[in-house]
Structure formats: structure tokens, C-alpha cells
């Protein structure tokens, strides 16, 4: 049952009984009015009877007075006569008034009044004559007859009124009976109707209510089951999960997050996320922005900054990878934030080991060039030493020594360049990119010459970035060796370097592009190029070079991508590296070393 | 008997000149070339008794030069110099002697002397095996 239907039913349940009771009350009022009218008619008959009886009594009083006077001639005897005269007129007037609506009785009354007046005329005549004359004239007989007629007329009227009263009394009783029956019947009918009507509607409401309760119970069970399911799922997954409300108070933690943060849920509940989830930047060791704030600002899933360290309650540190997402309760309403993170400390250790192994691999790739570069001058120095031993001419000896010095210088240069691949300052330093790339090219020079590869460098201006030189050397060694291998003998490699203006996507810095004349990278390979262990070189490649390079570039706050070669003459692969002038760590306030 | 003529081929010009001085002091006549094609021209135009050839050279490496020489004049012995430890096997088989750069002039002169010795004095394989 829908709410409007329910309201309508309720209205009907209240309104209908009221209407029925009002109707019933009206009906009863009509009945009562009829009974009252019947009672009034009875009263009327009683009044008429009383008036007539009094009138008859007054007639008798006058006659009695008249007879007494006739016998005694004593005027005292006329007192009843005189006393009755006034009331008789009054009663006649009253009866006229009472019988106004009853034609037959009114006519009888008129007749009675006529008879009385005749008797009165007779009586007055009697009063003016003596007794003897009365006897002689037979007046007494006449008077008696007149009075008898008067009495008879009154009695007739009385009888008529009695009959009328009996009829009215019968009617009144009938009305009373009808009233009672009507009351009972209407009460029973209305009662039954109301009972059926109420039962019907209450039943409908009750069914609907029960159905709704069943639905709510079912929904509640489903909800509870779903909640249980989610709870179990969240408890079971290997990642740590923390949920908080939109004020940043912790509302849920699974077992993994309890273990990593060192906070049991009971204690953490309601506490601010910052207190429980204490994260810092791995490099600067400064506090990282509260993810709840960040999500609230952006209203979307945010991956937290790389190199985040979680400091547990007991001070233990975990390298974590994490993301935070908003919990939306409506189109635009954020109910909270859920954080998902995992301990990547072990992963990071493996990654570090892989990076170190890749460093060795780079050294391996350079080994041939380095061996050549070192053995050539060494060979010359050994030969010069032999010549010096045998030469007496000072000028020639000086020349040999100069040549030996020159060759040793070359060895030193190669050795320094090689060492710079590994020796690393602790903090980022200012690096001249041109010098760095030329150093890499020097190491590869013999190889380039041997394969007849032409390297063109287009360096726009003095370009300096902050960073770790050995790491960046590793990146460019990788990129240039890849280009050399892709270009093949007598191929071409172009190294372009230009200043990058500060823009929407990145700050000021340098863009370096390494393009080769090779066959290019297949789109399928391009997608996986920066994944670890992906190689296009079969057993000759470790599949770590570009992955490590990307890690290094990202650590510097830069980016590395494969783009379509902008040079038509070099249709091969083009790798673009962006390096910011100031590294992330520097920007975050670490003092320059 | 006049001193043997050695053809030295190496793209490392300072090293080549120094090696030439060493060989001349040891009594050889030395012709030099800074790349493979020039070396082959000299090889064809002169009476060469032995070749000291660098392996790692741009454009045309020592292997390719040795192969041509072997094809044209298989009797001329070749000493292959290299900064590499691991040279391709087919290249090693093609030459008489190999020598790692940096082993020193005494080693070079000794190997060259053995290599140029008439076949009757020793077998070729005995010398070649020292590489």
C-alpha cells in the first residue's frame, strides 16, 4: 500500500463513521420530534377535557345557585351563580382557542355556547319572576330540560375528546415503539456496516503493513548479509583498508591495516586519520598531505605520492603504495574516504636489487668499449716503455715520454668516466647535461666508430638540471645503447636537447630526445616497453633497462615516453625524457648538497 | 737476407705510430695503414712478409680484412691484435697468431718472430696455439 492510498483509507475510516452517526442522529431527532408532537397532542386533549369538566362543574354551580334562589329568594343563594359567570366565559374563550384546529369539536363548542346562552336567557327570566308564576308556566321543567341538554352536549364533547385522546395515546405509544425499533435497527445496521467496513480496511492496512515488515526484514537481512560479506571481504584481502568519515575520523580498519599502523580498530575508531595513518615522504621525510583532504578537494581517486613511508605506532617504517578514493552517498555528497595501501618494503628491496643488477648489466654493455679504450693506451704505453729502454737520443726519449703521458691521460679519462657511472652524491647536485651526455658518448665512441654509426647532437643551450649524475648517466647510456643497437651498422642516432618552459603539465627543465634510424617500435611492444623483464633483444637483453630508467627519471620528478619520431629522416624509435630543473626532493625543501 | 716487411693496420693512429717505431727498432720494415681498405691496397701493392692487424676498426674490421688477405694471399702470416678477450672463433681460426693489446712489445716481437720463421723450423700450429 502506497502512502497516498494509506492516507485515503485512514480518512475513510474516520469520515464514514462520523457521517453515518450524523445521519443516525438526524433520523433519531426526526423520531423524537414525532414523539414530542404526539405527546403535545395528548396534553392538548387533557387540557380540553379539563376545561370541559370545569365548565360542566360551573354550569352545575350556576344551576344550583339558581335553584337555591328560586326556593329561598335569598340573594345570598345567588353567590355561586355570580361566581361562576366570569370563569364560564373565560373557559369558553380558552376552549375556543384550544379547539381552533378541530372543526367538529369547535362546532360542538359553538352549539354548547348557544345552549348555555339560551339557558342563561331562561335563568335571567327566572330571576325576574316569582316562584308561583314559574310553576304555573312550567318553567322548571323547561329549565331542567335545557340544563340536561347542556350537560349532554358537554358530555358528548368530553366523550369525543376522550376518544381523540385514546387515539392520540395509541399513536404516541406506536411512535415510541417505532423509535425504539429504529434506534435498535439503525444501531445494528450501522454497527454491522462499520464493523465490516473497518474490518475490510484494517485488513488491507494490516496486510500491507505485514508485507512491508516482511520486505523491510528481507531488506534488512540482505543488507546485513551484504554488510557481513563486505566486512569479511575487507577483512580477508591482503591490502590494508582504512575507511573514514568526511571529517577524517577513522570508522573502519581491516586486520592488515591494524597490523601495519599498529592501531587496533577499537582504539583508532573516531581518531583523526593523520594520527593513525602517519605518512612521510621517503626522501624528504616530511609529512605528506592528508589523503582525505586531497580526495575532498579533488573528489576522485588519488594515488598518493610515490616513495611514501608509513610510520607505525611503534615507530616501525613501511614503504607503502597506496590510493585513496571518495565514498559518495549521493550525486555530489561525499560520505567519507577509503584508503587502500599495501606494504611494498619487500618489493622495494627486490626493486633495489634489480636496479643494482641492471647497473651491472649496463657496465657489461659498456665492457667491450671500456676494454678497448683501456687496452689501446696501455698497449701504447708498454710499447713506449720498450722504446725508452732502447733509445738514447734525449729528443726522442722526450717525445716517447710525452706520448706515454698522453696515452695515460686517455686511460685516466676513461677510468674517471666509468667511475662516474657508479659514484653518486647523497643529495641531488647541479648537472651540466651536455657534459653528461658527451661523457656517455665518449664511452661509446669506439663502438660508434666500429659500427660506423653517426651521432648528431643538437643541444640548444646550456642546460642544467638538479639530480643524481650517475643515475642519469645510466639512463642516457641505456637510451643511447638502445638507439645504437636499433640503428645497426652505418645507422644514425640523433640526440636533441632543449630547454622546456614551465607549462601546465610540468615546470621548467630540459627535454632530451634520442631518435634512431632503426625499424621503430611496434605498437604492441611500445605499450610494454617500460615494464620490467620486457625485452625485444631476446637473451641479449635483461628487460630492465627502460624500467630502471623510468624509475630514475620519475625519482627526479621527470617523465619518459615513447613518441612518434619528429624527424622524417629518422623514422625509428624516439624516446623523450623530461627532467625538471629542480628535482622533487629539492622542491620539497631539502637543502641542496 | 733483407729485413722482413710488416704491414701494420690500426685505426688508433698514435698507437700505430708507436708500434711502428717498436717494430722498426726490432729491425723490421714497416708499412702502416689507419683503416682496412688502405691496408688492403698496401697489401696488394707491396711484398709483405707479415701483417699485424687490429681487429676492432670502424667500417671494415680486422676479421673482414684478414678474410680478404687469406683469399688473395694465404701464405702471408697474420697476427691479429685485439683489445677484446673474446674474439669470434671463426676469426681466430683464420689468422696465425692473436695477441691481446697491452701484453707488451716483448710478447709482440716474440710472436712475430715465431710467426715469420720458415715453416721448416717449426709447425704453424705450435705458434698459433699460444693465442
CB atoms near residue A152 (< 10 Å): 12
Residue A383 touches partner B, C-beta closer than 8 Å: yes
The whole-angstrom distance between residue A429's C-alpha and the CA centroid of its chain comes to 53
Compare CB distances from A379 to B11, B15, B59 and report the shortest one's residue. Answer: B15
Q: Are B8 and B30 in contact (CB under 8 A)?
A: yes
pLDDT at A591: 38
Q: Look at residue A131 and tell me whether its pLDDT is greater than 70.
A: no
| Segment A76-94, tens digit of pLDDT | 888 888 888 899 999 999 9
Contact A384 B18 (CB under 8 A): yes
More confident residue, A301 or B131: A301
Nearest CA among A337, A312, A309, A324 for reference residue A258: A312
From CA A578, how far away is CA A556, in angstroms rounded?
A: 10
Cross-chain CB nearest to B101 (options A368, A378, A450): A378
pLDDT of residue A268: 92
Nearest CA in chain A to B36: A450
The pLDDT confidence band at residue B131, using thresholds 50, 70 and 90, is very low
Tell me which residue in A368, A407, A449 faces B58 most closely, judged by beta carbons.
A449
Element (H, E) at A387: helix A345-390
pLDDT tops 80 at residue B130 = no
> Residue A302 pLDDT > 80, yes or no?
no
A26, pLDDT greater than 70: yes
- Is the pLDDT confidence value at A586 over 60? no
The answer to whether B101 contacts A387, with C-beta atoms less than 8 Å apart, is no
Confidence band of B95 (pLDDT split at 50, 70, 90): very high
Which residues have C-beta within 8 Å of that of residue A322, sequence separation ≥ 6? A279, A291, A303, A304, A308, A339, A340, A341, A342
Q: What is the pLDDT of residue A134?
A: 63
| Residue scoring higher pLDDT (A511 or A449) | A511
What is the C-alpha to C-alpha distance for residues A295 and A301, in angstroms, rounded to an integer? 7
Mutate to test the interface with A, among B8, B12, B13, B18 (most CBs of A within 10 A): B18
Percent of chain A with pLDDT over 90: 19
Q: Are A234 and A242 in contact (CB under 8 A)?
A: no
Model pLDDT for residues A220-243, shown as the tens digit of each residue: 999 888 888 888 888 788 889 999
- CA distances for A83 relative to A60, A76, A126, A150, A423, angstroms: 12, 12, 18, 19, 159
How would residue A468 be classed by pLDDT, with cut points 50, 70 and 90? confident
**Rounded Cα distance, B122 and B126, in Å:** 7
Give residue A53's pLDDT. Answer: 92
- CB atoms near residue A171 (< 10 Å): 16
Longest pairwise C-alpha distance within chain A: 227
Give contacts of B11 with chain A, Cβ < 8 Å: 449
User: Mean per-residue pLDDT for A366-371?
Assistant: 69
Residues of B in contact with A376 (CB under 8 A): 12, 15, 83, 101
B22 confidence band (pLDDT: 50, 70, 90): very high
A522-531 burial, b for 16+ CB within 10 Å, e for fewer? eeeeeeebbe
Q: How far is CA A378 from CA A373, A405, B12, B16, in A?
A: 9, 11, 12, 13
Q: Is the pLDDT of residue A365 over 70?
A: no
Residue B10 phi/psi, 5-degree rounding, is -160, 135
Average pLDDT over residues A500-513: 80
Identify which has the larger pLDDT, A540 or A580. A580
> Which of A461-470, B37-46, B92-101 is the most confident on average?
B37-46
pTM: 0.49
Q: Is the Cβ–Cβ distance between B69 and B76 less than 8 Å?
A: yes
Q: Do B61 and A376 touch (CB under 8 A)?
A: no
pLDDT at residue A588 tops 70:
no
Grid cell, residue A388, equals 725508452
Question: According to the 3-state scheme, what is the secondary structure of A420-470?
Answer: CCCCCCCCCEEEEHHHHHHHHHHHHHHHHHHHCCEEEEEECCCCEEEECHH
| Predicted local confidence at residue A258, as pLDDT | 92
A535 against A310, higher pLDDT:
A310
Which chain B residues touch A399 with a CB distance below 8 Å? none
ipTM for the predicted complex? 0.86
Mean pLDDT is highest, among A52-66, A551-565, A576-590, for: A52-66
pLDDT tens for each residue of A307-363: 788 999 999 999 888 778 888 777 677 888 888 888 888 888 887 787 777 777 777
- Residues whose CB is less than 8 angstroms from the CB of residue A185 and which lie 6 or more positions away in sequence, other chains included: none
- Tell me the C-alpha distance between B129 and B131, whole Å: 5
Candidate from A385, A390, A450 with C-beta closest to B61 = A450
Percent of chain A with pLDDT over 70: 92
Q: Which residues of B touch A385 (CB under 8 A)?
A: 105
Amino acid at each position: 500500500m502506497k502512502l497516498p492510498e494509506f492516507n485515503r483509507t485512514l480518512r475513510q475510516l474516520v469520515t464514514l463513521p462520523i457521517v453515518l452517526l450524523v445521519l443516525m442522529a438526524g433520523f433519531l431527532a426526526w423520531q423524537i420530534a414525532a414523539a414530542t408532537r404526539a405527546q403535545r397532542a395528548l396534553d392538548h386533549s387533557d387540557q380540553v377535557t379539563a376545561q370541559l369538566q370545569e365548565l360542566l362543574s360551573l354550569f352545575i354551580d350556576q344551576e344550583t345557585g339558581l335553584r337555591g334562589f328560586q326556593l329561598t329568594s335569598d340573594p345570598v343563594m345567588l353567590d355561586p351563580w355570580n361566581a361562576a359567570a366570569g370563569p364560564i366565559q373565560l373557559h369558553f374563550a380558552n376552549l375556543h382557542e384550544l379547539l381552533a384546529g378541530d372543526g367538529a369539536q369547535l362546532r360542538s363548542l359553538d352549539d354548547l355556547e348557544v345552549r348555555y346562552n339560551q339557558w342563561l336567557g331562561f335563568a335571567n327570566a327566572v330571576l325576574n319572576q316569582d316562584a308561583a308564576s314559574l310553576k304555573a308556566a312550567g318553567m322548571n321543567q323547561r329549565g331542567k330540560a335545557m340544563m340536561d341538554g347542556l350537560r349532554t352536549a358537554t358530555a358528548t364533547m368530553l366523550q369525543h375528546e376522550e376518544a381523540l385522546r385514546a387515539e392520540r395515546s395509541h399513536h404516541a405509544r406506536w411512535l415510541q415503539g417505532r423509535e425504539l425499533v429504529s434506534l435498535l435497527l439503525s444501531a445494528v445496521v450501522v454497527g454491522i456496516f462499520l464493523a465490516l467496513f473497518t474490518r475490510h480496511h484494517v485488513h488491507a492496512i494490516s496486510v500491507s503493513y505485514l508485507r512491508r515488515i516482511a520486505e523491510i526484514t528481507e531488506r534488512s537481512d540482505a543488507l546485513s548479509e551484504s554488510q557481513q560479506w563486505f566486512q569479511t571481504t575487507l577483512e580477508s584481502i591482503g591490502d590494508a583498508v582504512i575507511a573514514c568519515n568526511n571529517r577524517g575520523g577513522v570508522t573502519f580498519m581491516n586486520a592488515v591495516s591494524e597490523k601495519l599502523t599498529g592501531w587496533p580498530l577499537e582504539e583508532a575508531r573516531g581518531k583523526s586519520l593523520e594520527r593513525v595513518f602517519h605518512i612521510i615522504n621517503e626522501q624528504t621525510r616530511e609529512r605528506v598531505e592528508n589523503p582525505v583532504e586531497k580526495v575532498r578537494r579533488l573528489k576522485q581517486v588519488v594515488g598518493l605520492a610515490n616513495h611514501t613511508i608509513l610510520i607505525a605506532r611503534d615507530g616501525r617504517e613501511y614503504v607503502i603504495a597506496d590510493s585513496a578514493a571518495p565514498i559518495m552517498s549521493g550525486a555530489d555528497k561525499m560520505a567519507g574516504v577509503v584508503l587502500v595501501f599495501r606494504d611494498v618494503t619487500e618489493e622495494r628491496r627486490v626493486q633495489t636489487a634489480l636496479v643494482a643488477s641492471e647497473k651491472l648489466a649496463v657496465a657489461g654493455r659498456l665492457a667491450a668499449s671500456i676494454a678497448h679504450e683501456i687496452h689501446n693506451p696501455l698497449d701504447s704505453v708498454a710499447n713506449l716503455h720498450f722504446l725508452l729502454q732502447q733509445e738514447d737520443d734525449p729528443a726522442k726519449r722526450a717525445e716517447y715520454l710525452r706520448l706515454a703521458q698522453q696515452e695515460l691521460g686517455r686511460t685516466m679519462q676513461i677510468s674517471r668516466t666509468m667511475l662516474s657511472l657508479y659514484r653518486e652524491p647523497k643529495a641531488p647536485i647541479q648537472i651540466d647535461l651536455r657534459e653528461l651526455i658527451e661523457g656517455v658518448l665518449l664511452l661509446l665512441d669506439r663502438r660508434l666508430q666500429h659500427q660506423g654509426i653517426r651521432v648528431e647532437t643538437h643541444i640548444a643551450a646550456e642546460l642544467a638540471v638538479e639530480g643524481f649524475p650517475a643515475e642519469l648517466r645510466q639512463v642516457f647510456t641505456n637510451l643511447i645503447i638502445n638507439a645504437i643497437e636499433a640503428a645497426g651498422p652505418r645507422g644514425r642516432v640523433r640526440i636533441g636537447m632543449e630547454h622546456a618552459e614551465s607549462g601546465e603539465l610540468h615546470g621548467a627543465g630540459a627535454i632530451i630526445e634520442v631518435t634512431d634510424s632503426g625499424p621503430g617500435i611496434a605498437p604492441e611492444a611500445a605499450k610494454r616497453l617500460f615494464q620490467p623483464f620486457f625485452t625485444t633483444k631476446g637473451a641479449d637483453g635483461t628487460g630492465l633497462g627502460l624500467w630502471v630508467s623510468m624509475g630514475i627519471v620519475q625519482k627526479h620528478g621527470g617523465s619518459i615516453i615513447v613518441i612518434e619520431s619528429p624527424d622524417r629522416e629518422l623514422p625509428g624509435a624516439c624516446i623523450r625524457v623530461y627532467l625538471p630543473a629542480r628535482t622533487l626532493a629539492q622542491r620539497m625543501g631539502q637543502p641542496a648538497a | 737476407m733483407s729485413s722482413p716487411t710488416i704491414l701494420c693496420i690500426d685505426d688508433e693512429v698514435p698507437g700505430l705510430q708507436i708500434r711502428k717505431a717498436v717494430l722498426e727498432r726490432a729491425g723490421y720494415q714497416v708499412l702502416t695503414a689507419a683503416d682496412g681498405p688502405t691496408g688492403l691496397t698496401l697489401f696488394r701493392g707491396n711484398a709483405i712478409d707479415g701483417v699485424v692487424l687490429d681487429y676492432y676498426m670502424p667500417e671494415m674490421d680486422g676479421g673482414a680484412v684478414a678474410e680478404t688477405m687469406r683469399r688473395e694471399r694465404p701464405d702471408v702470416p697474420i697476427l691479429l691484435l685485439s683489445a677484446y678477450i673474446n674474439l669470434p672463433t671463426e676469426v681466430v681460426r683464420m689468422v696465425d697468431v692473436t695477441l691481446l693489446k697491452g701484453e707488451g712489445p716483448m710478447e709482440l716481437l716474440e710472436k712475430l718472430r715465431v710467426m715469420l720463421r720458415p715453416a721448416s723450423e717449426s709447425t704453424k700450429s705450435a705458434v698459433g696455439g699460444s693465442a
